[in-house]
Amino acid sequence: MKILVGYDGSKVAEDALKMAQKHANAFKGYIFIVTSLEQSQTLQKEDIDKAEGKLEYLRTSFNLDDISCETHASVNYLSPGEDLVQFAKDNAIDEIIIGVRRRSKVGKLIFGSTAQYVILNAPCPVVTVK
């Protein structure tokens, strides 16, 4: 079973990783942890380096627990939701696990909702963690 975790460093993303670990142990899964950074004028190399460093730490900790894991820091012009869905399609992912945060309707309108996009467009089941 291939499990994709959308990771942004938040508390709910950490909870999603814990859920992925349980699923990987139960179903002999392979975990892909993906951080999606949208290319923009404000994106700095330090941001990318920080994300890659955190992902390397996570990969090492999963491998120490005997859970197969790959990490990817994706930088492109897609929104994080579009990027995660595209990754899932390209890699024949069986399950996506993402964290959800409570936002107002105006907040969703202005900032969008990565989780909402993934839930509506994913090619596989999506598990949400809050």
Radius of gyration of the chain measured on its C-alpha atoms: 14
- Would you state the pLDDT for residue 61? 87
Chain-centroid distance of CA 37 in Å reads 11
- Would you state the pLDDT for residue 106? 56
β-pairing verdict for 69-76 and 95-99: unpaired
Domain 2-129 class? alpha beta
- Would you state the pLDDT for residue 16? 94
Residue ranges of the chain with pLDDT lower than 50? 110-111
What phi, psi does 124 have (nearest 5°)? -150, 175
Whole-model pTM?
A: 0.88
Domain boundaries, the chain: 2-129
Q: How far apart are CA 77 and CA 60, in angstroms?
A: 28
- Would you state the pLDDT for residue 104? 64
